[in-house]
């Protein structure tokens, strides 16, 4: 059994006796080379590390027209998003390119420090430490300062052992990531099935044998003969309630849940210092996010609270749950994006003027209720399966992180695993 010693790092505890502890600044150096505007733009992701920005369709940060001031990255450099280091947005790059001036770029100066051992160590084990060190420069935003990063202590095994650890973790994490990818594919299939059920039911009804007629709406086509088409202004009313003293913040999420922000998460939001224009929200209000409605941020509030003016708080003379499902179909099928004019790339306009002029298909009210009840039950069944699969992913991710921690801090040795 390997002899251990105190690392001097409280949250790491003991490490093997042959390992060293040193500050990052003695092993890496900031590298602020610029003026490479023709290189490919790179981004740092919590889940994927450093990748070309063009390889992902979920990165909506705008690249400057003039990238002369962007920082140059070569393969093997460490790249840090200083605003999200505490979330794991830092990694050793396998690409050459350029990154935002807001990022840190470091080159390795200690050739006895294996870059990929360091990659596993710093990405997985130091999130809480970087959260502790990060400071609030702007409301709701936390920055890791270069001085604090560089003066952070790390554990350094002998060179050969670093390579063994990196190789072992490459193999083990690839196995785990393969399982996670498979489950994610299953979740995507379930989500697609859920979308198809909602779309078919909202636009065609529950009885496939009823006579049909042309709706006059190109993207819908035929609808049951007893249904009618109306404008939103005839069935919706925009509310503007007063905020009550004990109201807490309500948020509309892109998965359709409208709830108190604290029920989901508190990180990642910009906190307003002044609640200008805030409005009251009550349980069972229909909510459409004016900027994220196109992405599914449409739902029925499950709580009383207050919300920023970016949320449309609505009443209806129809079944609100049916109207909610109809608007979610519009989001799923890209209707709001098709209506957008001059709106930013990452959003489409779902403000009141859009909602009030939109065409809605309406079954008789009894049928609206039947459709809403059916979809509530069907969606709930699908969500239970999705939640179960997400729990599997969470367990695998937790196992992967604990595995990395145990080996990069010397709690387990690679030779013991073989």
What is the location of CATH 3.90.220.20 in the chain?
4-157, 228-362
H helix or E strand, kind and range, residue 137 = strand 135-138
Q: Decide if 286 contacts 300 (C-beta within 8 A).
A: yes
**Rounded to whole angstroms, how far apart are CA atoms 50 and 308?**
35
DSSP character for 77? -
What Å distances lie between residue 206 and 198, 222, 223, CA to CA? 11, 14, 11
Query: pLDDT (tens digit, 0 to 9) for every residue of the chain, 418 residues total?
Result: 689 999 999 999 999 999 999 999 999 999 999 999 999 999 998 888 899 988 877 655 667 888 999 999 999 999 999 988 888 899 999 999 999 998 999 999 999 999 999 999 999 899 899 989 988 755 446 889 999 999 999 999 999 999 999 999 999 999 999 999 999 999 999 999 999 999 999 999 999 999 999 999 999 999 999 999 999 999 999 999 999 999 999 999 999 999 999 898 644 444 444 567 899 999 999 999 999 999 999 999 999 999 999 999 999 999 999 999 999 999 999 999 888 754 444 456 799 999 999 999 999 999 999 999 999 999 999 999 999 999 999 999 999 999 999 999 999 998 766 5
For domain 4-157, the CATH architecture is Alpha-Beta Complex (3.90)
Paired residues of 290 in beta bridges: none
**Rounded to whole angstroms, how far apart are CA atoms 410 and 321?**
55
For domain 228-362, the CATH architecture is Alpha-Beta Complex (3.90)
**Rounded to whole angstroms, how far apart are CA atoms 139 and 136?**
7
CA–CA–CA angle 302, 304, 306 (5° rounding): 115
H helix or E strand, kind and range, residue 153 = strand 153-156
For 5-9, the CB contacts below 8 A with 24+ separation are 7/155, 7/409, 8/153, 9/153, 9/155
């Amino acid at each position: 059994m390997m002899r251990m010693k105190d690392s001097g790092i409280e949250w790491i505890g003991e490490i093997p006796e042959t390992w060293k502890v040193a500050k990052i600044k003695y092993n890496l150096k900031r590298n602020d080379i610029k003026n490479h505007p023709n290189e490919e733009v790179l981004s740092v992701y919590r889940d994927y590390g450093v990748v070309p920005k063009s390889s992902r369709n979920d990165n909506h940060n705008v690249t400057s027209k003039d990238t002369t001031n962007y920082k140059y990255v070569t393969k093997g450099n460490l790249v840090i998003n200083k605003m999200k280091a505490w979330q794991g947005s830092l990694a050793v790059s396998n690409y050459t390119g350029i990154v935002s001036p807001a990022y840190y770029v470091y080159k390795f100066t200690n050739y006895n420090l294996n870059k990929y051992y360091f990659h596993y160590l710093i990405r997985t084990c130091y999130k809480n430490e970087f959260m502790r060190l990060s400071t609030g420069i702007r409301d709701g935003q936390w920055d890791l300062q270069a001085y604090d990063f560089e003066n952070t202590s790390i554990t350094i095994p002998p060179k050969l052992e670093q390579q063994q650890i990196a190789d072992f973790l490459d193999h083990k994490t690839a196995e785990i990531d393969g399982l996670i990818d498979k489950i994610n594919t299953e979740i995507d299939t379930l989500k697609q099935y859920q979308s198809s059920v909602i779309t078919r039911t909202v636009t065609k009804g529950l009885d496939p044998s009823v006579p049909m007629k042309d709706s006059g709406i190109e993207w819908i086509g035929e609808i049951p003969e007893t249904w009618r088409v109306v404008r939103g202004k005839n069935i919706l009313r925009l509310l503007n309630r007063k905020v009550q003293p004990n109201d807490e913040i309500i948020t509309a999420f892109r998965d359709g849940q409208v709830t108190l922000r604290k029920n989901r998460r508190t990180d990642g939001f910009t906190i307003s210092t002044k609640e200008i224009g805030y409005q009251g929200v009550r349980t069972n209000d229909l909510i459409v996010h004016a900027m994220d409605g196109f992405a599914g941020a449409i739902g029925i509030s499950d709580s009383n609270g207050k919300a920023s003016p970016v949320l449309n708080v609505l009443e209806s003379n129809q079944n609100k749950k049916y109207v909610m499902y109809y608007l979610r179909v519009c989001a799923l099928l890209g209707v709001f994006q098709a209506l957008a004019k001059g709106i930013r790339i990452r959003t489409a306009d779902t403000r009141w003027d859009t909602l009030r002029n939109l065409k809605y298909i309406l079954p008789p009210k009894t049928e609206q209720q039947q459709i809403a009840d059916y979809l509530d039950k069907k969606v709930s069944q699908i969500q239970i399966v999705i939640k179960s699969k997400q729990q599997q992913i969470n367990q695998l991710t937790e196992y992967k992180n604990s595995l990395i921690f145990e080996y990069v801090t010397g709690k387990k040795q690679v030779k013991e695993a073989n």
